[in-house]
């Protein structure tokens, strides 16, 4: 039986939904609506303590609601905030970071600094991934998280990516499940084709782009051009292979690097450690300021890129391993620790090692305010003070937010 209830929405919450209250008092989470709106909603997931719903009719609109740019908004799972102007998006994200710090981290009046906006709220992504339907259609995951939504426009990728993907015709049953498209600083494009078969598919495209085929747990095959692209950050070039991660918003990556260089105290004899170092985005700028840098990264392709990107430095040691394997074994004094972990945050053994090693300064970079708040709660209970938390809007129009936290030892 379908349950329709009328709810007044209260606030945007972590994950992109808006929170309101069911007539029985339970929290109800609804996507694509705004605080202050009165909405008729259909309950789609009814739990004992909360419910999830989808909007059926907006009875009273927020005066802050604007017309979304994309025809897919409201169905696509990629964007959550296109119905808000950019200034309000920024405020919502800063408020959400603060809420997570207070509620999960148990911080009273957390030192949240003003959010750093993206230079462009549109066409900023240098990397996009499409899911592929059985008919070869390109799409994103639907907002319901359950099926593919064919896509005919998207306003987040950089211009050359948008020009390219609209020309791609994979045909029926292409033998692929995902297609990635990347654009580097020098306007080079790369297609990353993913499929289950070890044998690459037939490939032809009358456009000068690089293309690779990458089955899971098997070797990558170069179909055309190179196996990597080059991104320039603050005058330094970074090789990024097809299987390596790099920040999707190049201009904001520059702002994050600048922030770290201005915020951390580096000396000529500083001993620094970077966990989850990737291709060396932060390490390359830190290495020239410290006496010694130890970097840890588990991805083999990222380590290969790191070695290329930091080849000029002889004061850098790179470990290809998990952070929880390496950090507890380091028997050396650490002045600065930089960590940019995956969404899941820090493993317990990493927390224990941080407590034992007691670096003087910590910079914690996170794309997940909830796990960040959880980890900061542990770190600050083990001899550290949270100096500041600065949100960076790497992902305009979406609910995602990056945050850089600075901590100092109190021991």
* 357 within some domain: yes
Q: Give dist(CA 178, CA 213) in Å, integer.
A: 10
Provide the β-strand partners of residue 317.
294
Q: Give dist(CA 187, CA 166) in Å, integer.
A: 17
Q: What is the CATH number of the domain that holds 287?
A: 3.40.50.150
Summarize pLDDT for 197-224 with one digit per residue, the tens. 888 888 777 788 999 999 988 899 999 9
Note every long-range contact of 32-36, with CB atoms under 8 Å and residues 24 or more positions apart, other chains counting: 32/73, 32/74, 32/80, 32/83, 32/143, 33/9, 33/58, 34/9, 34/61, 34/62, 34/64, 34/65, 34/83, 34/84, 35/9, 35/10, 35/11, 35/62, 36/8, 36/9, 36/60, 36/62, 36/63, 36/64
Q: What share of the chain is helix, strand, coil (3-state, %, to 5)?
A: 20, 30, 45
* 81 within some domain: no
pLDDT band at 146 (very low <50, low <70, confident <90, very high): confident
One DSSP character per residue, 284-345 reads HHHHTTSSEEEEEE--HHHHHHHHHHTTT-SSEEEEES-HHHHGGG--S--SEEEE---TT-
Is the domain of 313 the same as that of 386?
A: yes
Q: What is the extent of the structural domain holding 306?
A: 94-119+249-409
DSSP character for 268?
Answer: T
Summarize pLDDT for 57-108 with one digit per residue, the tens. 999 999 999 999 999 999 999 999 999 999 999 999 999 999 999 999 999 9
Is the domain of 283 the same as that of 401?
A: yes
Give the domain-ending residue among 193, 227, 261.
Answer: 227
Is the domain of 258 the same as that of 360?
A: yes
Q: Give dist(CA 393, CA 397) in Å, integer.
A: 10
Is the domain of 403 the same as that of 304?
A: yes
* 79 within some domain: no
Can you give the pLDDT at residue 41? 96
* 233 within some domain: no
Is the domain of 139 the same as that of 109?
A: no
Q: Which tokens belong to 373?
A: 């708040």
Percent of the chain with pLDDT over 90: 90
Is the domain of 313 the same as that of 209?
A: no
Tell me the whole-structure pTM to 2 decimals: 0.95
Q: Give dist(CA 90, CA 84) in Å, integer.
A: 10
Can you give the pLDDT at residue 371? 97
Q: How many helices (DSSP H) and strands (DSSP E) are in the chain?
A: 8, 21
Annotated catalytic residue 367: yes
* 85 within some domain: no
DSSP character for 148?
Answer: E
pLDDT band at 35 (very low <50, low <70, confident <90, very high): very high
Among 280, 271, 261, 287, which residue's Cα sits nearest to residue 336?
A: 271
- Looking at every residue in the chain, the average pLDDT score rounds to 95
Can you give the pLDDT at residue 1? 72
Summarize pLDDT for 245-294 with one digit per residue, the tens. 999 999 999 999 999 999 999 999 999 999 999 999 999 999 999 999 99
pLDDT surpasses 90 at 314:
yes
Is the domain of 105 the same as that of 134?
A: no
Summarize pLDDT for 357-410 with one digit per residue, the tens. 999 999 999 999 999 999 999 999 999 999 999 999 999 999 999 999 999 999
* 273 within some domain: yes
Can you give the pLDDT at residue 292? 97
Q: Which of 76, 303, 367, 405 is catalytic?
A: 367
pLDDT band at 175 (very low <50, low <70, confident <90, very high): confident
Can you give the pLDDT at residue 169? 85
Is the domain of 269 the same as that of 371?
A: yes
Number of domains in the chain: 3
Is the domain of 163 the same as that of 279?
A: no
pLDDT band at 172 (very low <50, low <70, confident <90, very high): confident
One DSSP character per residue, 196-210 reads SSSSPPP---SS--E
């Amino acid at each position: 039986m379908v349950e329709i209830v009328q709810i007044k929405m209260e606030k945007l919450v972590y994950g992109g939904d808006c929170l309101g209250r069911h007539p029985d008092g339970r929290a109800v989470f609804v996507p694509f609506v705004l605080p202050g709106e009165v909405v008729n909603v259909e309950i789609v997931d009814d739990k004992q303590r909360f419910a999830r719903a989808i909007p059926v009719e907006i009875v009273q609109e927020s005066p802050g609601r604007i017309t979304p740019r994309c025809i897919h908004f409201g169905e696509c799972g990629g964007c959550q905030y296109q119905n808000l102007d950019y200034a309000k998006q920024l405020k919502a994200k800063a408020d959400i970071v603060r809420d997570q710090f207070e509620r999960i981290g148990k911080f009273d009046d957390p030192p949240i600094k003003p959010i750093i906006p993206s230079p462009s709220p549109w066409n900023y992504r240098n990397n996009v991934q499409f899911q592929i339907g059985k008919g070869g259609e390109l799409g994103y995951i639907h907002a319901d998280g359950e099926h593919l939504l064919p896509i005919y426009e998207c306003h987040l990728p950089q211009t050359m990516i948008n020009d390219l993907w609209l020309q791609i015709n994979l045909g029926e049953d292409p033998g692929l499940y995902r297609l990635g498209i990347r654009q580097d600083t020098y306007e080079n494009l790369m297609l990353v084709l993913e499929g289950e078969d070890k044998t690459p598919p037939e490939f032809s495209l009358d456009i000068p782009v690089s293309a690779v085929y990458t089955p899971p747990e098997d070797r990558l095959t170069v179909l055309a051009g190179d196996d990597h692209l080059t991104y320039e950050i603050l005058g330094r070039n970074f090789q990024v292979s097809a299987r390596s991660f790099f920040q999707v918003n190049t201009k904001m990556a520059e702002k994050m690097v600048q922030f770290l260089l201005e915020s951390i105290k580096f000396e000529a004899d500083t001993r620094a450690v970077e966990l989850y170092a990737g291709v060396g985005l932060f390490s390359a700028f830190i290495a020239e300021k410290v006496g010694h840098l130890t970097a840890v990264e588990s991805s083999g392709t990222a380590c290969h890129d790191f070695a290329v990107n930091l080849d000029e430095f002889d004061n850098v040691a790179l470990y290809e391993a998990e952070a929880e394997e390496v950090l507890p074994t380091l028997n050396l004094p650490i002045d600065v620790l930089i960590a940019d972990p995956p969404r899941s945050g820090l493993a317990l053994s990493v927390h224990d090692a941080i407590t034992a090693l007691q670096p003087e300064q910590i910079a914690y970079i996170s794309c997940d305010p909830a796990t960040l708040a959880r980890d900061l709660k542990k770190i600050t209970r083990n001899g550290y003070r949270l100096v500041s938390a600065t949100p960076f809007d790497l992902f305009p129009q979406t609910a995602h937010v990056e945050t850089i936290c600075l901590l100092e030892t109190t021991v």
